[in-house]
Amino acid sequence: MTDEGARSDAQLVTAIARGDGSALAETYTRHAAVLHCLARQLCATDVADGIVADVFLLLWRQPETLVSSGGLRPSLTMHTHSRCVDQLRRDSSRSEMVAGHDGAG
């Protein structure tokens, strides 16, 4: 699609809600690089890639729930960041549990 014919983010969300896979692909093309960059700053590459994939899966399954009134990119960014922070917390908890277990022996 040319820039003239490109759908707005709001139009993409509406199309995704109708099950339009091409709208999801267009959204991915438009926003994935930013989300990958953010996630890779916070997590290991393989974890970051999984988080971004999960965010797009959530968008596919629940577009109206995922996207807030602030718009698509801010919503995708917020969800990506939140999932990265959750992952970092899980990793930290596991590390603390392992360290505590090793010290108890």
Output the average pLDDT for the chain.
Answer: 88
Domains of the chain in start order, with CATH, are: 9-104 (1.10.1740.10)
The model's pTM:
0.82
Question: What pLDDT does 102 receive?
Answer: 58
Longest Cα–Cα distance of the chain, Å, equals 66
From the list 92, 82, 93, the residue with the least C-alpha distance to 35 is 82
Per-residue pLDDT tens over the stretch 20-43: 999 999 999 999 999 999 999 999
**pLDDT over threshold 60, residue 97:** no
**CB-side exposure of 95: number of CA atoms within 13 Å?**
6
In sequence order, the β-bridge partners of residue 68 are: 71
